[in-house]
Amino acid sequence: MAVAKMSAVGFKMPSYTQGVMFITLAFFVLFTYFGSLGYALTATFGGLLLLSYWRYAKAFGWVGLALVVLLAWLVCRSTLLYDIQSGADFGQYQTWEDQAWLKMILQPVWYGALILGALKMKDEDAFKLTGGLFYAFIGLCGLIIVDALSGASIYQAISATIYKPIRPDLAMVKLSIATYAFVLLYWPVMLVGEFKSRSIQIVALGACVVTPIITGANAPVLAMVVSYIFFLLARYVPYIGKISIYYWAAFVVAVKILYFPVIMHFIKVMKWDDNMHQFLPPSWDARVDIWMFTAEKIMTKPFLGWGFDSSRHFGKAIPLHPHNMSMQVALELGYVGLFILAAFWVLLILRVGQGGPVQGNDPRALRDIGDSDGIDTRPYILATVAAFFTLAQLSFGIWQEWWLALAAIVAAVLAMTQKALKFAGK
């Protein structure tokens, strides 16, 4: 069907939005191999050129409103008020540059425009872009697998040629970071496979599982397992006890966000962590130590927290951030911020669950977000959300630019994939 569809489309000059998205995705593929820090530049580039799409901001709905509230609370718990009271000169560029909260306010502007551009672009344009991304991504997956098996020799050779030599162990770390993007892109690639060749998607699965194992990255493998569980449940067991799997998923996520700091503190108080250390590998053992210390500090200031970006100021006990989204938000923004974060995730998951088949395999047509020529796209999107949530609970700081940029790019790709499916079914 895909070949016939492309023949019917023929050649046309790309539209403005299609051209911007093409360049954005090209850089995305490039930086996935050469360095994830480039994601922020990529998403910012695309978003800046698509700022006019903010006229469709209502498309974000309650999810967008929850994010705005979270950002407003973040600013309230930043150094802004202190700097104003201390007489900081906001007429100077350096004063604004020192405001870490400003970066957090601006990122959603660029990244949101990128997502809106993908949501509102033409189905035909999305079909072309996602088709090209499919083969580019599969090729990149094959390259990563080969490079990981070779001990990152390809990466080392390229780095030595265009930049400077890199140690083999650091090169393997670079490859391991790339696997986080592979895990998040896996489900959009699966969706594209609905109108492309599904047989070669085994290469993508290999990049998401084999490469992390070789490079020593545990979190991507766990994220793949969790995402598959949610995908299978959403696709084959959409209702449990007459309650939608999406409501169950929202409940589980909310409980995880709100109670994880309390659970960690309880384990610390009961001194069960000593027994846990006996069975944990070194990387997980280090995480538990960080979480135990973080939980103790959270309970010192449970409501308002220690202030935005305060994770960086606890010394070696917390290396830059707690490596857990719930713990970091609770530490910095208190339980006020944590409740807002939980609301954001609940609204997001319920938004994903809109439309689609109703209970009892009712033959009525698909609706809203799940409507893509009879293909229920919701399980794929829920699996992607589950993968991101799992990784956010185990790795990286929640405010890191490249990590949030990656989330925005993946969201844009998912939106384009849904549009591509609609066009393929016409």
pLDDT digits (tens, 9 = 90+) for 95-127: 777 788 888 999 999 999 999 999 999 989 999
Residues 6+ apart with CB under 8 A from 197: none
Higher pLDDT, 279 or 384: 384
**What distance lies between CA 179 and its chain's CA centroid?**
13
**Which residue in the block uniquely carries the two structure tokens 């400003």?**
102
Q: Are 197 and 130 in contact (CB under 8 A)?
A: no
Q: How far apart are CA 265 and CA 73, in angstroms?
A: 24
**118-144: b (≥16 Cβ within 10 Å) or e:** bbebebbbbbbbbbebbebbbebbebb
How large is the average pLDDT for residues 23-38? Answer: 89
Q: How far apart are CA 283 and CA 104, in angstroms?
A: 29
Torsion angle in degrees (nearest 10) through CA of 47, 50, 51, 55: -130
**328-343: b (≥16 Cβ within 10 Å) or e:** bbbbbbbbbbbbbbbb
User: Could you tell me which of 404, 406, 425 has the C-alpha nearest to residue 29?
Assistant: 406
Cα angle 381-215-183, degrees, rounded to a multiple of 5: 5
In the structure, what pLDDT confidence band is assigned to residue 426 with cuts at 50, 70 and 90? Answer: low
H or E element: which one contains 245? helix 245-269
H or E element: which one contains 240? strand 239-240
* Neighbouring-strand partners of residue 240: 243
Q: Are 326 and 253 in contact (CB under 8 A)?
A: no
Q: How far apart are CA 371 and CA 357, in angstroms?
A: 9
**Which residue in the block uniquely carries the two structure tokens 């020529």?**
373
Residue 253 has pLDDT above 60, yes or no: yes
pLDDT given for residue 392 in this prediction: 94
Q: How far apart are CA 228 and CA 252, in angstroms?
A: 16
Higher pLDDT, 355 or 176: 176
In the structure, what pLDDT confidence band is assigned to residue 42 with cuts at 50, 70 and 90? Answer: very high
pLDDT given for residue 218 in this prediction: 84
Q: Are 269 and 297 in contact (CB under 8 A)?
A: no
Q: Are 184 and 417 in contact (CB under 8 A)?
A: no
**pLDDT, tens digit (0-9, with 9 covering 90-100), for 360-396:** 443 333 333 444 446 889 999 999 999 999 999 998 8
**233-251: b (≥16 Cβ within 10 Å) or e:** bbeeebeeeeebbbebbbe
Token reading at 129: 């872009």
Its sign, for the CA torsion 285, 287, 290, 296, is negative
Residue 8 has pLDDT above 50, yes or no: no
**pLDDT, tens digit (0-9, with 9 covering 90-100), for 161-205:** 877 788 888 888 888 888 899 899 999 988 887 766 666 677 778
**Which residue in the block uniquely carries the two structure tokens 């609770």?**
330
